[in-house]
Amino acid sequence: MKLHDMKLIVQIILILWMFCGSVTAQPLFQDSPLLQDSGEREDWMGTYFQGRKIGFTRVQTRWTPKSVKLDSTVFFQIRSQSIDQSTTIHQKTELDPDFKLRSFSILQEITGHRQQVEGKMEANRLTYRMKSRGFDREKSIEFSPETLPSSTFLLNLMAKGLQVGQKGIVPLFLEPFQMLVDLEFEVLDKENLDYEGQPVETFAIKQKFSGIESTLWVAKDGSVIKETTNQGFESFKESAQVAQKLDESLTVSSLITMSLVKPDRPIDQSDRVRNIIFHLQPLRSPDLVPQDHRQRLLKTEKLPNGLYRITLEVKTEAEQNISSAFGTPGPDPKYLQDSAEVQARHPMIQALARELAGEQHNVWQVAKDINRWVYLNLEKELVDTVTALDALHERRGECQSHTFLFTALARAAGIPTRIVNGLVYSAEYAGFLYHAWPEVYVGEWRALDPTFGQDRVDATHIKLTEGTEDGPFRLMEFVGKVEIDWFTTRRGVN
């Protein structure tokens, strides 16, 4: 059974929220209540996928001469078979009178699991604290005066005034991902949209970053009337009553269908394919796809639209004996660190890692033992258990859950491990699903798959990104856009 990356679904939801949800309560500018000393307002938007209502956003804005405060709640109704996978995201943001960030907090809840981020500005640094089950850590980054929080950046654009044809680049801080990115925007035109039977004049604004695009229609009062994304989602300004009236739950299978990459023809006996040549297109850059000992770029072609088509060779991991011992110099120390998703220092993780490693001195053998334990002890379910510790407690999850738990155990055992994200072929769907798996450093990087119990990942594993911090986020470069065709060069028995 090929398990789809549920984390990717949450990723899409978070990105949709950043641009379809949290910008809906921008205080007014022309004829603006913000010109008064204080006030408040509430905005609602309904969110749709392929024409069906799947969620809503509520944003309450309060302002005084000393601050602007936004309190938002985003809800998406999702179900996987009989399991409620609905996601709720709460964010509170406080700005100074010039709409510069003072503080924020985010609480994400899915299937009973919680992750929280709290941030506060101190001079030109942002200090933020991440909390999840068994994890509590504080970090800080430089935060220039030009940088804006993604949840409220539209305030700044509106305050400076919008004109048709206006273009620019805005440095953004993505609060849910704790990342800095550059947002490109362009004011395309003025358009009249219908809202509750009345025409509303709006600015149509196109925005994109890291291959993710959306268009929003903003009224002169700063409210977002409509937004569309290149993932097939739409949001519309609605009354509170209409926004909260939902259709049947969005199913995980429908999201799988959305992100499924169908090749030009099925791959028969895909588990026996040892070497495949793939063509991937269209790509913003040929450098988006990483290369390593298992996959290499054979050819790059520039398409008429300025995008690229690449020819990529991917191999099954070679079968060979590895005798690397613990203590062998490794790569960057970050591959042994813990995180909010990979709690490698937690006592339960540490204890299990010691038990699995035993007296074994061969690093590669310990990695294979951990891989087998995770494969045998986690039920394969389309449930996002969010972190390694959650997966260990609940003993179930999808590919990201398996990978997080493997990574935490391997790092706790002293094995440098990194998480990769990409595509894997599913005979069930006759196409490629987005997937996650780990790589361990045992004198060289080797890829395993605890979801499928593979000590050597097969040639249908196409790596697209590396890393837990922004790897899943960068998958959005490919979702809904990449096309694949292939031809087999060699088969064999795994």
Got the DSSP string for 67-130? EEEEEEEEEE-EEETTEE--EEEEEEEEE-TTS-EEEEEEEEEETTEEEEEEEEEETTEEEEEE
Q: Taking a C-beta distance cutoff of 8 angstroms, is the pair 330, 337 a contact?
A: no
C-alpha distances in Å from residue 426, one per residue of 267, 364, 401, 417? 9, 28, 19, 25
Confidence band, pLDDT 50/70/90 cuts, at residue 19: low
At 126, list the tokens: 């942002």
Long-range contacts of 194-203 (CB under 8 A, 24+ apart): 195/225, 195/237, 196/239, 200/225, 202/226, 203/162, 203/164
Say how far apart CA 297 and CA 290 lie, in whole Å.
9
Find the helix packing angle between 399-412 and 347-357, rounded to 10°.
Answer: 70
Q: Which domains does the chain have, with CATH numbers?
A: 6-253 (no CATH), 260-491 (3.10.620.30)
Higher pLDDT, 322 or 109: 109
Phi, psi torsion values for 48, nearest 5 degrees: -125, 145
Terminal-residue alpha carbon distance, the chain? 17
Please work out, in degrees rounded to the nearest 5, the angle formed at the alpha carbon of residue 412 by the alpha carbons of 135 and 289: 85
Look at residue 145 in the predicted model and tell me its pLDDT: 87
Say which residue the tokens 């890291």 belong to.
210
What lies within 8 Å, CB to CB, of 10 at 6+ separation is 87, 108, 110, 384
**DSSP designation for 469:** S
| C-alpha atoms less than 13 angstroms from C-alpha of 182 in its C-beta half-sphere | 3
Q: What share of residues in the chain are helix, strand, coil (percent, to 5)?
A: 20, 45, 35
pLDDT (mean) for 92-110: 91
Amino acid letter for position 452 = F
Q: Spell 382-401 as b/e; 16+ CB within 10 A means b.
A: bbbbbbbbbbbebebbbbbb
pLDDT winner (highest mean) among 53-67, 133-147, 225-239, 340-354: 340-354
pLDDT in tens, 196-253: 889 999 999 999 887 778 899 998 878 889 998 877 788 999 999 999 998 776 666 6
pTM, two decimal places: 0.86
pLDDT in tens, 399-449: 889 999 999 999 999 999 999 999 999 988 899 999 999 999 998 899 999
Please work out, in degrees rounded to the nearest 5, the angle formed at the alpha carbon of residue 215 by the alpha carbons of 212 and 216: 130
Look at residue 110 in the predicted model and tell me its pLDDT: 79
Higher pLDDT, 36 or 283: 283
Q: Spell 365-380 as b/e; 16+ CB within 10 A means b.
A: bbbbbbbebbbeebeb
Look at residue 73 in the predicted model and tell me its pLDDT: 92
Look at residue 82 in the predicted model and tell me its pLDDT: 65
Q: Taking a C-beta distance cutoff of 8 angstroms, is the pair 314, 278 a contact?
A: yes
Say how far apart CA 227 and CA 20 lie, in whole Å.
6
What lies within 8 Å, CB to CB, of 113 at 6+ separation is 133, 384, 385, 386, 387, 390
Could you tell me which residues are beta bridge partners of residue 129?
118, 138
> Which is nearest to 406 in space by CA: 365, 449, 357, 457?
449
Question: Would the pLDDT of 97 be above 90?
Answer: no
pLDDT in tens, 341-357: 899 999 999 999 999 99
Q: Taking a C-beta distance cutoff of 8 angstroms, is the pair 406, 378 a contact?
A: no
Q: Taking a C-beta distance cutoff of 8 angstroms, is the pair 367, 440 a contact?
A: yes
Say how far apart CA 251 and CA 249 lie, in whole Å.
6
Say which residue the tokens 């069930």 belong to.
428
Look at residue 398 in the predicted model and tell me its pLDDT: 86
Look at residue 109 in the predicted model and tell me its pLDDT: 85
Say how far apart CA 386 and CA 112 lie, in whole Å.
10
Average pLDDT, the chain: 85
Look at residue 114 in the predicted model and tell me its pLDDT: 84
